[in-house]
Every structure is written in C-alpha cells, then in structure tokens.
Structure 1
C-alpha cells in the first residue's frame, strides 16, 4: 500500500500540559483509522495539526505529493453571506478551482484556453459537481440550496460542511465527530457511503457501531503516547485489555525487582562509587517502570438517586402543533417506576419539543401533565452548557453544593466529587474556558447528577463525550434507581440503556416499541421488505430481463429533471416567504390559518418532487 502520510516524533503542549510526546504513526492508501482517547487528550488538536490549522512543538508530518485531503472540523465556519450551495464550492480543492477557472474563462473575451479547460473539466468530472452536491445535501436532509448560511442551525451547518468534504472525493478524509447532529437515517446512510468508497480515513467519533463497521484500524492516545490496533473497535477492546494486563504484570514484576535493588542501592552508601555501573543504570530503568501507573481511571458515577414514589408522571391527552406541523396528537402515557425509555425519530419530528413540554419549559395546546410529589428531575439538555468561562471548575460545582450527599451517611466534598469525574486538582483550579468540548460536557453531566435526581431526562447526552465516559454513564444508567428518558442518535448507547422506545414518525404519529434500537431496526427492515414484496408486481416470464444494463436518461426525463430543479427552487422560496410572514406577528387569524395550510402542502410537494429528482439523478445522462 502506498504511504499517504507519515507522522514522526510529534510533540504538542499547552504550557505545562503535554498532550502527546514524540508520537509516530502513518496512514497508507485504503486504511480507515479511528482515533480514540479520553476528553482532553488532544484528539481534535491532533486532527487540526494534521490539517495544517494548528502548530506543534516538535516532529515532522509528511504527505505524499499531490495528495488530496479534506477535513471536517468539529465546529465548521463559513462566511455568512454564502448560500448553502455556494458553501459547497467554498474550498480549495482542485475541482472547485477548475470550475472557477472555467467560469472566469467564459466571462473573458475570446475564451482563452477554453479547449484545455474543457478537457480538464471532462477528466475531473467537474460537470457533475453541482448535481453531486445537491444529491449529498438531500441525503443529509438539506434541501433549500439557496438558504443563507447565517440562517442555518449548528447541526445544519455541520451537515453542509460534511457534504462539502464528501463531494470533493479526496484521497484522505479527516472527520471530527461526523455523526454529531445526524439522525439515525443519516448516520446509517453515511456509514454505508464510507464503506462503499475507497477513500482513506482518519476519524474521531464516539459512535461505536459506526467505528466498528467503518474502521479497520484503531489508534489510541493514552498517557501521551499512541498505540495502534490492526482491527475494528471490537478487536481494539480485546487487545487493549491484553495490553492493560501485560502492563500491570510488568509493573508488578518491576516493583518486586525495585524493592530488591533499592535495598542493594541503600547498603553501604559510602561505597557507592565502587558499585557496578551497570547495576546502577539497571536500577534507574526498573525504577521508571515501577513508578508507572496505567492510566485507566474511570468516571465513577456512584451518586445515589433520591427516593421516588409509585406515582411518577402522567401525560393525559396532549396536543401540540405549530401551524399544520403536528408534534403531539392525543398523546397519553403513564410512566412506571424505574422505567428507561429511549426516544428516536428524524430531526424535526418534535423530540426536543416533547421533552420541553414534559419538563414544563413549553406548554401543550391541550391536555394535562401530572407529576408525582417525590419526583426530582435531572435535565441534561443540548443547550445546557451555560457556564461562565471566567469561573474556575471547582467554583462551578461549589456554587451548587460544597458537600454532596451519597446516601448511607457518606459524603464527598466538591473537590473529591470532581476527582471522580477525572478532574485532577490542577484542572479543578483551571478556568472553564480552558476545557475541551468533551470536558465541558463532562462538567455539565457532573452538575446534573450531583443534585441526586430520581428522574433523569437526557437530550443527546453522548455528543462530545469520550467512549470511556460513555461506558461508565451507561453502567450508571442501567443501575439507576429511578426513571430515565433518553433522546439520542447513538445506537450503541440506546441498545445498552433503554428498555423500550418511543418512535417519532412525524405529524404526531408516535409509536411505543417494546425493545432497544437494534430490535426496532431489525423489525423495521423486515416490515419494509414485506411491504416491498407485497407491492412487487408478478414477474412477466415472457419479458426480457436485463439486469446488468445501465439505462440512459431519455430526452423526456432530462426535461423533467431540469423542470423539477426549477420547481424545487420556486417551492423553497415560497416556503421561506411564508415562514417569514408567519413569524412577523402581523397576520390575522384567517391569514395565519390559510398560510399554515399552504406550508403543510408545500412540505409534501417538496418531499414528493425531491424523491423524484433523486430517482432521476441516479440515471446516467
């Protein structure tokens, strides 16, 4: 395999904090590498260094000449005045630069160099760039291509950036948390897309199913060093444990030797100069090993839930809608003691709105909610990280409580409690602004759990948390003596934690499924297959079957394809205008009703035409 990139002796530190020290590894053609480390160990920093966005203290990074690299950042940024489609052309890759050259040539009198540009455009398949961009954006459920970037949510912007990196078809793709802000359908589409392509990959993700199915190698950063495992995530778990056991055995042996040698070194100190030099050198090497401690600290979530009575939470005939968009339609539910519910559904089906109604942060249009007297909520929300960056970590926790009650007369000080969450004394007295994204999430989780809740409501808790923290959080939730509601796109997390699912299908259609996510997915796939077979017409045995021929787009289909593109633009513009009118607050009740009905019609039309557009785009022109 040809070498794409080689990292040699790379060192990076921030002041006294050393993230990694003289690490070396390479990426070859066809390798798909997952990068794993605890929060704060430098995963994102390493990706930024490789992508040339951040400096380093020592070492070398060498790329193969003419290697095409694309990088999906954790928090991508684009100029606000760009449209979604323009953002997909906002990069320095060769194809985009070639398209710009071609456009400049066409605007120049006499079109100098046009013939050569046409040959290059054909060779690079640049003519398909815009169509491919729209295709991938549609798969990621971004369909208003003319919407300005400044009006996108953080999740939508991340999806536009993901589309931008995929469209370029690079040799090496670097992805930082690509599944954040993707719903389950999009995650599975991306998983399949990456498995089909030949692109080499370096990726940070907490989605363990994604990691297991996409990556063929794992690199772990631990204790400032890197360890490589030639296998997927399941293989990594097995071999990592072997490494831990071997390291612990080595340390134990070194400790025994160390005690013997220490006794020898201490004897007759006045004769130290006459001792064998090789024994002194060996002693210092043994001392280094013996004083090692394998860095396998875990977050210890042993906070006890407060008592919860038999009456928990009752939702009775709830209704909620925004215009013609229904979130809840005559929804009723009674929560049982110690119930663990997962909530799944595509983005925009109302999962977060439903949670806010349950938490009293939004009101239903109709219906009642009755909460038991003993219920104490712990709410972990997507937008709950509202810390003062100038506060110290210890002060954030002490503002809530100086001492945390664990039950059975046990107590922890705020500092001891933080140490259970892997915040060292040094980190505790650092400012919040110095924390990584994952460390901030861990601090937020700490502030939720330290209040001893007995009903946990977790809205996307897995984003930005490292896998080690997720493992311990999962174990904690499995043994939690209270109720749990989890909204998450992390399939592995849901499989381990929940007993059953509420599936949001959109427009108020909510179904209760008795099982975890994998159970639901298998059931759903079998259901779709059965429906497909039922709809399939009986085969005409006299008809000629041509399974291997690729059909060309007919003239009529080409005209339909172009017409649908124009219609979609018009429909999206009409929808945007109506949304602006609805938000203006100046409409009469009659106009409000009329425009709400029209928006619902537009959404159906856009979905219908987009599906036909995708069907046609699959046919060769």
Structure 2
C-alpha cells in the first residue's frame, strides 16, 4: 500500500475474525511497505480497532496469517492505554529511554572503577570507556533529560511527578503516545491519537508523523490530519478492507464516484460526500464566506426548519423559539480561580444564527465559559446579558446526565415510538440509528457502554430536545466520520445559535461563523470567520507585531537525540 520502499514489513493474509458467532473481519489480505502512511477510517463497530490490534500483535485469536518482518519493532497506542497506576509520568517516559540510561550509568560506573583499577583490568575498562564515549557522543545521550522535557511540552503532558493512576483518559493517552514516539518503533500503530489534543499539539503530531521514517497506520476521524499525513486511505466497511491511494480528499473523490453507481439507497450519503467534496475544492475565502452567509439567512433558516423531512436529511435539531437581534452580550467579563486568570477582560456579542467555535489549550477555561453562559458558574466582574427567548441546551464532556439502568433506545427516545422532526415525525428507532446505534445496539444497557458510546447517547438525547442556544463540548470526540457528517449537515440547517468547544479544525471550518480563541493568560479573541481564516489572521498579526513567522524548528521540536 505504498511505493517508497521495496519490502513489506507487515502483512495479514486471508484474515477472518469472529466474536462468538459474529464475523467482524472478512477475508482481509493486506501488505504494508516500510515508510508508508496509512489512514484507517470506517463507521464505529466496523472493525477498525480489531484490525489494528491484530496488526499490532495484541490479538492472536483470528483465522489467517499475520507476518511481521524479522527485526522490525512495533509500537501500539490504544484508545485506553494500560499505564502502571503507581508509576509517575516521568517513570513511564524513562522506560522509553532505559537503554540510554543503562549506557550512561555504565559509563559513570566505569569512571569510578578506573580510579581503582590497574594492569589488564584498567586496559579493559579503558577500551569499554572509549567505546561508550563514542556511542554517547554520537547519539548525544547526555541530552536525554532535555529530550523528555521537550517531549512533555510538545504533547502537553501533565506534571512529571503525577501518578498515572489519577490521570484523565486524555492525559493517559498523551503519556502513552509520547512514550511510544520516543521509542521510535519501525511500525507505529495509533488508535485515535488526536482525541484530547489541542490544535497546536495536533499540528505538531502531523508534522512528526509525516516525516516519520517507519510505517504509520492511524485510525482517526481528523480529516485535516488525514489530508496532511497519509498517502493511502484504508476504509473498513462491513468487515472488509478497501484501500484508496492518496489522502482523505482523494478518498472523497473516489468514494463519491463509487456511490454514483451504487443505487438510490445511497442518495443521501452520496449527497453529503458531494457537498463535502465541493467544499474541499473551494478556497479558504469561499469556505468562510459560505459559513458566514448563514448570518444573513437566519429568517430563511427558521422557515426552512418546518420543511425538513427524514427523507431529505438524517438529523433535524429542534431550534426552539425565534431569537432576538442580540442573543448574548458579554461586557468586560472577568473570571479567575485564585491567581489563575482564565478570562481577563472579555467583551463580545453573539448575533442570531451564529455558530461559534471555541478553541484553545486544554485547561484554558473554555468549559468554564460555557458554564457561565448557562448559569453554572458566575463571573467575577462584568455583565453577561441574554435574550429573554433563550432556551439553552448544554452537552458537556461529563456525560453525567444518563440513566445507567436504561437501554440506549429508552435513554435517547424516552420510550416513545415517534419523535418530532421538522414539522413532522420520525420513528424513534430510525432517529437513534442516526447516531450509529443499530439493531441490537439499541438494547444495550447504558451503564455497560464505553466512553465513546456514552458520548453518542448524550449527544443524541440532547439534540432530540434541542433549543435555540446549544452548547457542545467536544461533540466529535469518538464520533465516526459518517456520524460527524450527519451532525455537520444538521448544524447547517439548524435555525439557532451554537457554541462548540472543539479541537477538530475541519469540523470548525465546515460549521463555524466565528471563532472564540483562548490565547493564554486570560486573553480571548472573538474573530469573525472560521478556523482557517483565524489561523491566517493570527499569522498576519505576528508579522505586523514584528515577531516574524514562527520557524518550523520552534513549532515542531524533534523527539529524538
């Protein structure tokens, strides 16, 4: 699946995988060259993670063959890495450089022994000393602690002395990713590595993997990441694997042509792919113009809401009462926790129909701002004025408002047979299936679901209710690409306002009219435009300030000695 080297480093031949009597993977044969960059996509439950685990050697219960070239090392980072709970972050990272510490420790030991040795023993120690000195100098091994510091900064790791047992899921994943990248295996397998990474960290990871010397196979729904890193796409659909040469945009073109000949049952899916493909082909200015045009179409969106039908669109978000001309007005708002200033002096106004992307590093205060809007937190100073017609809906990362004893269907639908959809109705089970809960999945108990599945349940439940101001906190985390496209289409036709905390740059470009950027030290910029336009403006601001463009060496620090 790549052409830049001449030998396969990893293969699976006639691979079949069953869970009980259910076949997950069907007769898959794949060969991977060293140095290839592969992006694996597919709906949730299609078998992506199962295939990646088999490729990694983490699952040996399958039919067929897995062949790994002798001498080639494998690094695998799962969505829920098993770190030793009693070890600190520093101790976990030290494992990746244990061979270096062994060499430098032996070097220091020899220095001590040489002071007491003589004759043949001194000669042997001197010879080993010279050999280690050359190896240490050649690989700059005395800089190993600096490497760990650079690594921790690049991937926004928690403090080095923090025990892994108290880390959040996102923090644990970043630590495991950092450890594996430092080890630099010949075959690197990553399952959703960009989840819980902010935009700057994701950009660093893109650059690192695009220039990585080994084979990289990555499962991700980050479409800019797939465009910037991979040279092959591997789609897993109904247990079968289909390769497409090129990046995500090339895949879109090939897939749209496939669906054009596949029959009318694919019409809505093809329409979404065609819409996205047209968007991809447009320039940055045109993309931003389309998003911002919705501000002038608010009245039209309200009227169109009543004409939406299940045969035309997969998801219609109830928009609640018509909004006034000024939805929310922030005037000199301030917020801090002790000496940590989250919001220094924030003033902005949200117009009706605005879709605002909220971006910034983890821990900058984005979720706190959302809570202030819905009244769960108060401002230290300043005023927040809301339109009297606002009916707010807040979908956050906690996923706490779920009943663990109910089935997925009961929790999302409330147990009714039909749900409102535009001016009509939709069968409840059809609505639940829009979030990729199909068949027996709808009867699963909520308390037994994974974090990603709970994410989808909460999103489906809250969007069923809707409101004229919806606040979403990382809505695309753990959503597959088909479900993300459904959500994007629904937002396009939604006749209300949204604030969306997200690190998904592609999603922000597809949906947003404004960006609210947490830039550090309590400074927040309210920008009229999408994410890419904001990034361009930010670079222009640096140049105007005389800072000059940020060098690649500064942005993309290497994780190697």
Greater RCO, 1 or 2 (C-alpha within 8 Å, sep 6+): 2
Residues 133, 163 of structure 1: 8 Å contact kept:
no
State the partner residue of 1:26.
31
* Per-residue deviation, 1:18: 2.6
Residues 152, 178 of structure 2: 8 Å contact kept:
yes
Q: How many residues align?
A: 493
Asked if residue 67 in structure 1 is aligned to residue 69 in structure 2, the reply is: no
Asked if residue 169 in structure 1 is aligned to residue 184 in structure 2, the reply is: yes
Asked if residue 135 in structure 1 is aligned to residue 140 in structure 2, the reply is: no
State the partner residue of 2:539.
525
* Per-residue deviation, 1:483: 0.5
Asked if residue 96 in structure 1 is aligned to residue 101 in structure 2, the reply is: no
Structure 1: tracts of 5 or more residues without a match: 252-296, 537-610
Asked if residue 84 in structure 1 is aligned to residue 89 in structure 2, the reply is: yes
CA distance in 1, matches of 2:239, 2:430: 25
Structure 1, residues 341-396: CA drift from partner, whole Å, max 9, x if none?
11122223211111111121222223343433432222221122554555321221
Structure 1, residues 481-514: CA drift from partner, whole Å, max 9, x if none?
0001111111111111111111212233222211
Asked if residue 500 in structure 1 is aligned to residue 514 in structure 2, the reply is: yes
Point out the structure with max Rg over C-alpha. Answer: 1
- TM-score for the superposition, normalised by structure 2: 0.79
CA distance in 1, matches of 2:226, 2:79: 17
Of 335, 338, 345, which aligns to 1:320? 335
Alignment of 1:183-582 (within 5 A): 183-248=198-263, 300-310=314-324, 312-384=327-399, 387-399=402-414, 403-408=418-423, 410-432=424-446, 435=449, 437-532=451-546
State the partner residue of 2:159.
144
- TM-score for the superposition, normalised by structure 1: 0.72
Distance change in 2, residues 1:427/1:148 (3 Å): closer
State the partner residue of 2:276.
none
State the partner residue of 1:583.
none
Any idea what SS the aligned residue of 2:95 has?
A: coil
* Per-residue deviation, 1:479: 1.5
Asked if residue 58 in structure 1 is aligned to residue 98 in structure 2, the reply is: no
Distance change in 2, residues 1:522/1:8 (3 Å): same
CA distance in 2, matches of 1:299, 1:125: 58
Residues 301, 472 of structure 1: 8 Å contact kept:
yes
Distance change in 2, residues 1:433/1:51 (3 Å): farther
* Per-residue deviation, 1:11: 1.8
* Per-residue deviation, 1:43: 1.6
* Per-residue deviation, 1:45: 2.2
* Per-residue deviation, 1:121: 6.2
CA distance in 2, matches of 1:133, 1:155: 19
CA distance in 2, matches of 1:530, 1:369: 32
Which one is further off, 387-396 or 216-225?
Answer: 387-396
State the partner residue of 2:287.
none
Residues 88, 161 of structure 2: 8 Å contact kept:
yes
Distance change in 2, residues 1:16/1:395 (3 Å): farther
CA distance in 2, matches of 1:67, 1:122: 26
Any idea what SS the aligned residue of 1:65 has?
A: coil
CA distance in 2, matches of 1:244, 1:448: 32
CA distance in 2, matches of 1:495, 1:342: 9
Distance change in 2, residues 1:50/1:215 (3 Å): same
